[in-house]
Structure 1
């Protein structure tokens, strides 16, 4: 019997998960959600997350039944704190009388107190590995020391295993949907680009974790010379980075900055021959869409955040890159396989 059912004395019917971070962070936890759903196929499972994640939840009806907007909490940088909304949120969550509350945000330093205020019948999650377990609500046996040296996917599947919930594998998954695919195919036809004959470059991402724009331009020109159309993906805020790449390229390039949502971006990747990207959410999306990729790591650890399938996806550390040549070589290898 799993630990949640054992602690409750019955099979949970209402499960809330707290994970209010970014795209890549949520994609990496899908294998854990898959295991949770397999264990509790009849449960109502809700994700408490940031506003953007409403679209994410809608894309996984097989695992998630509800999106709940997180109003922020002191110390968490992703969402400004509104005390009135936060109090209302906690009261509403308490009123719903959840069977299970899962804290899957991180080591719990900032949020364990908050999730305990939801007052679910049982609460499970992580606590910092370097503090005594009794400092957190770990005496119940439902809190695990946060695994520091672990891949993000393995970390959360391991949490399910800790709770007695069998793994359903480590593969990421994302299905853009027929409507998004049709929309992207129309776009590609309009700009006279053939599916499977273009390469996506994603030069944006978190500041400080970006390969230089002129290096992306060099890669783009090299792949364009091989006959591939180059498409830049990113948000409206990343348009200046796209402009920088375009200014350094000698071949034509198409920018989709701000022109895609999560589903259409997934469809763009679905029809792409390859993605070359910084270590950011789009890199994980390519993995989930089964699109080959070359991922540039500047500061994050590939052992924690890199793709698990290194035959279809290649990892290059910035310090190991000899100019753009190593990236170009890996890209051409994947394109010719």
Structure 2
């Protein structure tokens, strides 16, 4: 029988650790950006530990941006009960065969029994988020495996902001938090600045003189109607700002719908920037108006004043404060909710008027 981990049994404080897997099975930009402060705290406390982030292969460009805190990406092939992507059966067997390389695996997905199964199948020492309302467990033997009830399992702190959920997790597992632990980050690279310079030449962009409108979001329940985003965009034009419509290529039809509903001019950049160039574009924008999606987290990183339209999403979990990042929402009784598509009358969207969003715009600090 092995002794307890670390001087006080804390898994991430164990001086014997060499290889740690962080199991973060998310596909959202915001999800991974909100994990960075916890990873930064871990690196600061344990620069000797090699950290592997377990997530989907498509997140590799973003994981590269996290290279100061993450040493490797282990592509996740899916698992029954993890809803983001279908399961790659042959890939799953190979994935589980990587387990011996890790000394510890941390379940950082959320309140999910399936994610705990993945974590425990990766390695004998497993810990991380447990069921909300559960009792924190402690490692007493170091022998942690499927079904034995061991491990440092933190009851999922559902009422906390997403950044703090992960900070609380690493603190619970033995990582001291530095001053200002929740500061998000997304490093700007030379290629980002070159990409922005090309956009600025092609479209005549001037820093601080344009606003970005980003109407898209992954789920329909987080997308405000296109005609309302168009009316907000017209309001920005009336306030002397040039309007740029942003988004990924899959949101091109939505952007065209917004543009067609506008009375004033707008430049559609949907699908015409990579992530780094888009962040650089935001960093020099006067403001952003967006749906509850990953670009809102980029604005928090870049310091761009922003208004985020919250519908089904929970602003307690995903919004930022300080007067620079404001929330627009109707506050109906059924919001927030877990539905990807509204099963009733989408009242959280229809009861949020354009005027309320523009009032929030006018309350922002302006960079003109």
Q: 1:287 aligns with which of 268, 285, 300?
A: 300
CA offset digits 1:93-149 (Å, max 9, x no partner): 1242x12211100113112112111125x2111111346778965533x11111122
- Stretches of structure 2 lacking an aligned partner (at least 5 in a row): 1-6, 138-145, 333-350
The reply on whether 1:107 has 2:111 as its aligned counterpart is yes
The reply on whether 1:55 has 2:85 as its aligned counterpart is no
TM-score normalised to the size of structure 2? 0.84
Inter-partner Cα distance in structure 1 for 2:45 and 2:282: 31
Q: In angstroms, what is the RMSD of aligned CA positions?
A: 2.0
The reply on whether 1:150 has 2:160 as its aligned counterpart is yes
The reply on whether 1:123 has 2:126 as its aligned counterpart is yes
Q: 1:80 aligns with which of 70, 83, 86?
A: 86
- Do the aligned partners of residues 231 and 137 (structure 1) sit closer, same or farther apart at CA in structure 2, a change above 3 Å counting? farther
Inter-partner Cα distance in structure 1 for 2:247 and 2:225: 15
CA offset digits 1:266-288 (Å, max 9, x no partner): 11111111110111111111111
Secondary structure of the corresponding residue to residue 111 of structure 1: helix
- Do the aligned partners of residues 311 and 136 (structure 1) sit closer, same or farther apart at CA in structure 2, a change above 3 Å counting? farther
- Stretches of structure 1 lacking an aligned partner (at least 5 in a row): none
The reply on whether 1:313 has 2:325 as its aligned counterpart is yes
The runs of at least 4 consecutive aligned structure 1 residues that moved more than 2 Å come to: 129-140, 318-322
Inter-partner Cα distance in structure 2 for 1:318 and 1:210: 14
Alignment of 1:162-173 (within 5 A): 162-168=172-178, 169-173=181-185
Inter-partner Cα distance in structure 1 for 2:16 and 2:323: 40
Alignment of 1:243-282 (within 5 A): 243-282=256-295
Secondary structure of the corresponding residue to residue 127 of structure 2: strand
Q: 2:215 aligns with which of 198, 203, 211?
A: 203
The reply on whether 1:329 has 2:336 as its aligned counterpart is no
Q: 1:139 aligns with which of 141, 147, 150?
A: 150
- Do the aligned partners of residues 227 and 262 (structure 1) sit closer, same or farther apart at CA in structure 2, a change above 3 Å counting? same
CA offset digits 1:139-192 (Å, max 9, x no partner): 33x111111222111111111111121123111111231211221122112111
Question: 2:335 aligns to what?
Answer: none
